Amino acid sequence: MAKKIQSKKAAAVEKNIHPWRLCSYGRHWVREHSMHTPPSKKNPGGSTTIRHAHCANNPSGKDQLYHDEIQEIAGKSFIHVNEKPCPLDLGFKGKGAEYDDFIAGWTKYWNDILTPVEPLRSNVVKALIASESGFNPEMLANKKNSNSARGLMQILNSTRKMLGDERGELHDHFLTVSKNELNDPNTNICAGIRWLFQKQKLASSYLGRNASWEEAVLNYKGKLKSKPNDVEANKQKKIFKKYLDSLVKCEKS
């Protein structure tokens, strides 16, 4: 009996798509939480039970990341990641270097999962965040519209839905997170990098060759297809490049 359990566990671990994942492929982590049963005739006072942390099946059978597991992964595994971005704050005092661990961890994770031709560098992600939100994790682009872009990587509500749409364009490795969960810097960076990878893939399709990560960033900002004399697109390129160059110089020194 013990041998059967052991081999089942081994099989589950083997099916894990990444050593940091808590559950095997096709399942997602649910943290321990309390469940309240409302009052009924049999149980007039109602009751509260503790549901222990467990792996739950994804209906599609594909890979899904939820907010709970995103937190667990970062907490347990990111401390061991060496490939961190340059620890410059880029002028954003007190904030600019605050999320380097999350940036490093999720860059490594998505590079490991999606195996791009050229790995994404964490400095690219950091420069993108600087240009999008100035490292403010609860930034809402249109203060009056909760569906507008939010968080460190300025993710739209419609982007958030696409990240979790198992019938949509991502095919696999989805993220299911709520609007509010995108205010969490860790979750936002995980989601933003996943979307950046999708933008790199589609940029490559558009260009007919493997797109660079700078081109992927332009696509992320919706400006890859702009004309060469597009003032706005050129301005955005310049700002992003300014941040990236500072980080790269720091890396070399």
Partner 1 sequence: MKNLNKKYLLIVLFILILPFFSYAADEKFEKKQFGTYEVSLSQNYHNGLGKIVIKKGNDKVFEESEIENHYSFGNDFDPVLEGPDLYSGRDITGNGSPHLIISNWTGGAHCCHFVHIFELGKKFKKLITVQANSSSVRFVDLDHDGFPEIEFLDGAIDYKFACFADSPGGRVVLKFKKDHYAVAPELMKSSSPTLRKIKNLKKVMSLAFAKNDNPDLPYNFLNTMMELSYSGHFNLALKLADEVWPIDKPGLMKFKDEFSKSLHESIYWKAL
Positions touching partner 1 (CB under 8 A) are 59-62, 90-95, 130-134, 136, 139-142, 144-149, 153-156, 158-159, 166-169, 171, 192, 195, 199, 202, 205-206, 219-223, 225, 231-232, 235-236, 239
**Closer of 109 and 240 to partner 1 (Cβ):** 240
- CB of residue 75 vs partner 1: minimum separation in angstroms? 26
Is residue 83 packed enough to be buried (19+ CB in 10 Å), middle (13-18) or exposed (0-12)? Answer: middle
Q: Provide the token pair at 203.
A: 């940029």
Q: Mapping DSSP to helix (H, G, I), strand (E, B) and coil, where does residue 146 land?
A: coil
- CB of residue 212 vs partner 1: minimum separation in angstroms? 17
**Closer of 44 and 59 to partner 1 (Cβ):** 59
> 124-162 as b/e, with b when 16 or more CB fall inside 10 Å?
bbbbbbbbbbebebebbeeeeeeeebbbbbbbeeebbeb
**Closer of 84 and 95 to partner 1 (Cβ):** 95
- CB of residue 55 vs partner 1: minimum separation in angstroms? 19
Q: Provide the token pair at 32.
A: 């321990």
**Closer of 23 and 140 to partner 1 (Cβ):** 140
- CB of residue 10 vs partner 1: minimum separation in angstroms? 28
> Contact at 8 Å (CB) between 122 and 85?
yes
